[in-house]
Amino acid sequence: MSYNLLKGKRGIIFGALDENSIAWKTAIRAHEEGGAFVLTNAPVSIRMGQIDQLAKITGSEVIPADATSEDDLKNLVEKSMEILGGKIDFVLHSIGMSINVRKGKHYTDQNYAWTQKGTDVSAISFHKVMQTLYKSDAMNEWGSIVALSYMAAQRVFPDYNDMADNKAYLESVARSFGYFFGRDKKVRVNTISQSPTATTAGSGVKGFDGFIAYAEKMSPLGNASAIDCANYTITLFSDLTKRVTLQNLYNDGGFSNMGVSDAVMEAFIDKQ
């Protein structure tokens, strides 16, 4: 169902890899809601994924950009405004990577060169994206910028490794830059802390299937799916959330406020 929530709005969506990714589903929903946008990802991710297929479905153009490169981002923002015919109304940052996780390095035995690369891609890139938009005066008033986070930024999830630190950094950048973007440009900046979601990126975390099953049993409404996250993101892009900014917003079926659930307790009682 479409409500035309993004009719006449222009955006940039980072990080769509394949149809499992939240960014992909957000692009589909943004298109259905009347939004026009540019799709972007790192060149290597574009080669690995199916972003060209998404571009066809949504009538969008793809501009390759390394989100850690200020030159690439400047080019992306300039070309996006040319293609879309004006300033930007919404931006989704859906980027995260840990080489330590990918290569099985434990949190207590990090390769710090890999750690720094992961922080640059997962968190500092969000600052670079916003700084580029800010300096270029590329956002319309009442525009909306959203980045995807996870609750490991606040609580310990051992196998989430250095990505937990990256997400904490990401959320801090959202608040700090969000203040200046709100004060100076009337642009809002938020992060969404999503349930563990079966995406190509997420499946790299050790024990991920068990993790999803645990969160499902802990959450009174069950895990939020990728499409749930896409729908929530659309509301934040819309004019219905004009005064929501500097927030880390949980979209997790209630998991973040749970101590324990009956379903989880039963699993332990059965084993006694």
Catalytic residue among 3, 134, 150, 232, which?
Answer: 150
Q: Is 269 within any annotated ligand binding site? A: no
Q: Is 212 within any annotated ligand binding site? A: no
Q: Is 15 within any annotated ligand binding site? A: yes
Q: Is 88 within any annotated ligand binding site? A: no
Catalytic residue among 112, 160, 179, 214, which?
Answer: 160
Query: Is 150 in the active site?
Result: yes
DSSP the chain: ----TTTT-EEEEE---STTSHHHHHHHHHHHTT-EEEEE--HHHHHHS-HHHHHHHHT-EE----TT-HHHHHHHHHHHHHHHTS-EEEEEE-----HHHHTT--GGG--HHHHHHHHIIIIIHHHHHHHHHHHTT-EEEEEEEEEEE-GGGTS--GGGTTHHHHHHHHHHHHHHHHHHHHHHH--EEEEEEEPP---TTGGGSTTHHHHHHHHHHH-TT----HHHHHHHHHHHHSGGGTT--S-EEEESTTGGG-S--HHHHHHHHTT-
Q: Is 95 within any annotated ligand binding site? A: yes
What residues form the annotated binding site?
15, 21-22, 95, 167
Catalytic residue numbers, as ranges: 150, 160
What residues form the annotated binding site for NAD(+)?
15, 21-22, 95, 167
